[in-house]
Structure 1
Amino acid sequence: MEPNHNVVKDIQIAYIGGGSRGWAWGLMSDLAQEGQLSGTVKLYDLNYDAANTNAVIGNRLSERSDAAGKWKYEAVPSLKEALTGSDFVIISILPGSFQEMHSDVHLPEEYGIYQSVGDTVGPGGAIRALRTIPIYVELAKSIRTYAPDSWIINYTNPMTLCTRTLYEVFPEIKAIGCCHEVFGTQKLLASMLDEMANIPNVNRRDIKVNVLGINHFTWLDQASYQGMDLFPMYREFAHRHSKDGFEGSEEGHWMNNHFASAERVKFDLFRKFGLIAAAGDRHLAEFMPHSWYLKNPETVHEWKFSLTKVDWRKQNQRDLIAKSARLAQGEEEFAIRPTGEEGIDMVKALLGLGDIVTNVNMPNRGQMGNTPLGAVVETNAIFGRDSVKPIISGELPPEINSLVQRHIWNQETILQASLNKDKDKAFRAFVSDPLVNISPEQARELFERMLDNTKSFLPEWK
């Protein structure tokens, strides 16, 4: 971001999923640290009380002397009210409840299918998509009606299909999908520079990368620091840590942190394919054949990452609800700290406060070669005033591209199945996923059971 000391006031942000105790608080923290912006954030959530509690928390934060950015937070009862007059729309929702997520993640385990996340691909990702797409169809229609000129920033998973649905329904929409997984890989490269070249404290933003792929299955074919090609060093780094992994100062952290890993999957994929896999191990593993990294819990343990249990998410939610009450009542002070996300930097760039280059999910208009036009891909893009221009990023080598294309076409099939309420088409995508390593008969049984567990979100399906 280039320095710019202008101040933009009266920005209108609609936050869809405004009762969130994660992303919403992160947005508040980042806005509080940004003195060049101010305005109103309208919080809309199916749980109005949760959104209203967040409004109280946000307004308390904005009143503090250490909050550089001054914002008014307002819970609103309707999507129309949230969207009308908005300059930016941020979407971060949980499609369904943890009950549906429990089925997505854990029912396949009865059939020997293990998923580390279950929100993007695999059987869990497919079923989650089927209940998410109808929600995004309605969001796209509402945006077209009430906020056609606003910029849409999506954080919800499955990222690819959420973004793809917005463009399918409203082709002129100005929407981007944002994900921080590539940032984690840049941080890993910074740690590598410290260990291998004795260059400490490198800011991950100073590591320049070329991004190719789809969300959670991204790859780097270029990486440099101050003109230094990092691939030769990474080759040595991956070889050095391929057996035991790399965790820096947090050795063993992956065993008690559901979101951590020792990067062994990432190193293994580099040694197999020669490019840097640029997502967390938990996500990368789900795109590969089940026998590679997710054969069973013992295999997962050997690769030093975790199966994120939904029971943990439920307990975490209870803890966050309790924290929410404390924050709203002033019993606990909101901690202002950087999230590491780039959403506010994107907003500033779109308002003309300096250009940035970062990775985003957008329909392929030629920025990624040997890939269907219109399919949502993740590459770098240049952000400027009211403009996001994807960068021509080249193409993946055939051996990686074949893996990526399988998922692209599966996701396209799921989209069409959802739009047409075609259960047979949905099953074809489900059974074609590389994690579904069971007989077609077992796959059909599992599919029907999982679909039944999410049927309340598919009211028009037969």
Structure 2
Amino acid sequence: MKLTVVGGGSTYTPELIDGFARLRESLPVDELVLADPATDRLELVGGLAERIFAKQGHPGKITTTSDIEAAVDGADAVLLQLRVGGQAARNQDETWPLECGCVGQETTGAGGLAKALRTVPVVLDIAEKVRASNPDAWIIDFTNPVGIVTRALLQEGHKAVGLCNVAIGFQRKFAAMLDVDHSRVRLDHVGLNHLTWERGVRVDGEEVLPKLLAEHAQELADEIGLPREVILGLGVVPSYYLRYFYKHDEVVRELKAKPSRAAEVAAIEKQLLDMYADPALDEKPELLSKRGGAFYSEAAVDLASSLLNNTGDVQVVNTRNNGTLPFLPDDAVIEVPATVDARGTTPLPVRPLEPLYAGLVAGVTAYEHLALEAALHGGADRVFNALLAHPLIGQIEYANGLTDRLLANNRDHLDWA
């Protein structure tokens, strides 16, 4: 089995490597290719990857390359975890929206749109190379904004599934709170990528969300940055990304008062790369946990294993709506539990989504449609329309100012700007 990781030079890749090594029984990889244009980083990450495999007794071969066509040639699955423009572009995404009084975040709001515009054309080019090499290969997208990027891939007919670590993170946290093995925990997880709610938590089929809320509401509130009373009143656990919607103005004030998350991550990455250069290091360092993306490796291995081994188990994925949420278009990409096998993903039935959540989901879905149109076809008018439609923006003055700033900060990445 050959797997390829595009963006393999990321400082986060050792977390993924550790997962492949630990979980090799469920996903026996013969060759793991790390592909990245940043050859200096790739050399460091690739060396550590080899040492992790060797220490854990994994017989697979690690290959590094900056040649995407060679990397995906003959691959059974391709994982996408790339960041066009690197942390420098992310830093811009997190700062210039604040000048207009809007949230600066890499996947939500205007910053998320900028990332989508830079990313979608690059991802589709890679996907065409995958299709030319092996049309049966699966593309697993962890590249943000996952919902928009996955929708672009599916719209072009690629065999793609989107992946996010929010659901698995909640599953593991709830399991720890309940003192049960995580495999016994199932989530009623529903919404869009980075716009989800946990409406139910079952252990061995028994609903335990009321118990969780009664005993751990304050801990959960602290985790997601929302008031305890709101969580108890709603009776659900929102994703921490809902804070950008429910407490927008407060978040803007907080973001203006501190360095960007991109600046923090850049500092962490510098330390990590220094560590990776140490030939004695043969395991992922503890510092990597501060990089973000907890449990991604387990989620990625589970998803790849289910697709390639036809297991038919249930996982939370980003997949085509196809009537699951009847108030959305069929081609919308939603994030819900689905059966995963060699044919792909089939969403489980979802009980009707309450109006409190359905309205926001519908609005963001409309924005994502317009964002994808802008990413595919360009044009300042399409950028403006997407921004105007976004529930976090929605005013002409804001959309005009954000359009100007988005284009000014992304000309190097947008050939039409």
TM-score (norm 2): 0.89
Are residue 270 (structure 1) and residue 237 (structure 2) matched?
no
Shift of 1:127: 1.2
The answer for the alignment partner of 2:165 in structure 1 is 180
Tell whether the 8 Å contact from 1:367 to 1:394 is kept in structure 2 after alignment: no
SS at match of 2:277: helix
The answer for the alignment partner of 1:333 in structure 2 is 282
| Counterpart selection for 1:223 from 186, 195, 201 | 201
SS at match of 2:412: helix
Shift of 1:311: 1.6
The answer for the alignment partner of 1:412 in structure 2 is 369
The answer for the alignment partner of 1:196 in structure 2 is none
The higher radius of gyration belongs to 1
CA distance in 2, matches of 1:121, 1:308: 14
Are residue 102 (structure 1) and residue 59 (structure 2) matched?
no
Tell whether the 8 Å contact from 2:15 to 2:284 is kept in structure 1 after alignment: no
Partner amino acid, structure 1, of 2:264:
W
Shift of 1:294: 2.2
Are residue 155 (structure 1) and residue 112 (structure 2) matched?
no
Shift of 1:157: 0.6
The answer for the alignment partner of 1:309 in structure 2 is 261
SS at match of 1:179: coil
Give the gaps of 5 or more residues in structure 1: 1-10, 194-200, 248-260
Equivalent positions of 1:65-214 (< 5 A) are 66-67=56-57, 69-115=58-104, 118-169=105-156, 171=157, 173-193=158-178, 201-214=179-192
SS at match of 1:367: coil
The verdict on how the C-alpha distance between 1:159 and 1:146 changes in structure 2, with shifts beyond 3 A counting, is same
The verdict on how the C-alpha distance between 1:351 and 1:425 changes in structure 2, with shifts beyond 3 A counting, is closer
Partner amino acid, structure 2, of 1:74:
T
The answer for the alignment partner of 1:319 in structure 2 is 271
SS at match of 2:95: helix
Shift of 1:442: 4.6
CA distance in 1, matches of 2:87, 2:183: 35
The answer for the alignment partner of 1:392 in structure 2 is 349
CA distance in 2, matches of 1:205, 1:308: 36
The verdict on how the C-alpha distance between 1:96 and 1:370 changes in structure 2, with shifts beyond 3 A counting, is same
Partner amino acid, structure 2, of 1:49:
D
TM-score (norm 1): 0.80
* Structure 1 residues 379-417: Cα deviation after superposition (integer angstroms, max 9, x where no partner): 111223454322222331122100111111001001012
The answer for the alignment partner of 1:429 in structure 2 is 386
* Higher deviation after alignment, 13-22 or 337-346: 337-346
* Structure 1 residues 95-140: Cα deviation after superposition (integer angstroms, max 9, x where no partner): 212222122111222233334xx12221111111111111122122
The answer for the alignment partner of 1:17 in structure 2 is 7
CA distance in 2, matches of 1:353, 1:409: 33
Partner amino acid, structure 2, of 1:454:
N
* Structure 1 residues 283-315: Cα deviation after superposition (integer angstroms, max 9, x where no partner): 221244624x525229x99xxxx9853221221
The verdict on how the C-alpha distance between 1:435 and 1:307 changes in structure 2, with shifts beyond 3 A counting, is farther
Are residue 285 (structure 1) and residue 243 (structure 2) matched?
yes
CA distance in 1, matches of 2:324, 2:259: 34
Tell whether the 8 Å contact from 1:163 to 1:361 is kept in structure 2 after alignment: yes
CA distance in 2, matches of 1:458, 1:205: 44
Partner amino acid, structure 2, of 1:78:
D
| Counterpart selection for 1:54 from 45, 64, 78 | 45
* Structure 1 residues 246-296: Cα deviation after superposition (integer angstroms, max 9, x where no partner): 58xxxxxxxxxxxxx53342755534544332x2x2x221244624x5252
CA distance in 1, matches of 2:365, 2:247: 16
The verdict on how the C-alpha distance between 1:79 and 1:335 changes in structure 2, with shifts beyond 3 A counting, is closer
CA distance in 1, matches of 2:248, 2:21: 43
Tell whether the 8 Å contact from 2:107 to 2:144 is kept in structure 1 after alignment: yes
Partner amino acid, structure 1, of 2:397:
E
* Structure 1 residues 142-168: Cα deviation after superposition (integer angstroms, max 9, x where no partner): 222222110111111101011111112
The verdict on how the C-alpha distance between 1:60 and 1:275 changes in structure 2, with shifts beyond 3 A counting, is closer
Sequence identity (%): 24
Partner amino acid, structure 1, of 2:44:
T
Give the gaps of 5 or more residues in structure 2: none
CA distance in 1, matches of 2:78, 2:215: 41
CA distance in 2, matches of 1:174, 1:78: 22
Tell whether the 8 Å contact from 2:224 to 2:243 is kept in structure 1 after alignment: no
| Counterpart selection for 2:316 from 350, 359, 364 | 359
* Structure 1 residues 50-100: Cα deviation after superposition (integer angstroms, max 9, x where no partner): 223333222233333x33x32111112321111110101011011212222
* Higher deviation after alignment, 11-20 or 215-224: 215-224
CA distance in 1, matches of 2:190, 2:211: 21
CA distance in 1, matches of 2:63, 2:162: 25
CA distance in 2, matches of 1:315, 1:440: 37
Shift of 1:333: 2.8
Shift of 1:225: 1.5
The answer for the alignment partner of 2:409 in structure 1 is 453
Shift of 1:348: 2.5
Tell whether the 8 Å contact from 1:273 to 1:400 is kept in structure 2 after alignment: no
Shift of 1:185: 2.2
Shift of 1:179: 1.0
Q: How large is the RMSD of aligned CA atoms in angstroms? A: 2.7
CA distance in 2, matches of 1:35, 1:99: 35
